[in-house]
Amino acid sequence: MRYYILLSLIFLNVVLLSAKNIKNFSAARDSIVETYKLRGDTARTWDSLEMEWKKRLPDILKKHKITISCAECTSIIANVVLYADSTGKCHIVQKRKLTVCGGTMEPKLEYDYFRFWKQVVFPPVLRNRYILARLSIVLKC
């Protein structure tokens, strides 16, 4: 009986914390900036982070045996909302679309694909803001 009560309390706690996080994100949803709308130093800083991530991408694709070409796989689409807190730690708060070669992104690939963003420290110009990023590769075949 104690087990069921404890389990119920844990479940209730998880539900309440999730509701709080959803409420906080909903309030911030209006302040989401798409990367292409960034200007000045903010845009240059974002571009440098994205270029650093793209340098690591070929190793990630090779590890997961993905070849981007018109004959095999024409796209990886990852639209995500990132939030860099006041310390520069990046959080992926929403995954809007994750598609690999027309299918779903495997958890192992997802982990490697976003590892850079979870480890990088965002510069002050990008902190305390929500950013909608399209971290994708799409070929026009």
67 vs 45: CA distance, rounded Å: 29
40 vs 109: CA distance, rounded Å: 33
Kindly state the tokens that stand for 133. 């990023």
123 vs 84: CA distance, rounded Å: 9
Kindly state the tokens that stand for 2. 């104690």
Q: How far is CA 32 from CA 12, 47, 51, 60, 75, in A?
A: 30, 17, 21, 28, 25
Query: What pLDDT, in 10s, does the model give residues 67-126?
Result: 988 888 899 999 999 999 999 999 999 999 899 998 999 999 999 999 999 999 999 999
What's phi and psi for 66, nearest 5 deg? -115, 125
Query: What pLDDT, in 10s, does the model give residues 26-59?
Result: 545 558 888 889 899 999 999 999 999 999 999 9
The confidence score (pLDDT) of residue 140 equals 86
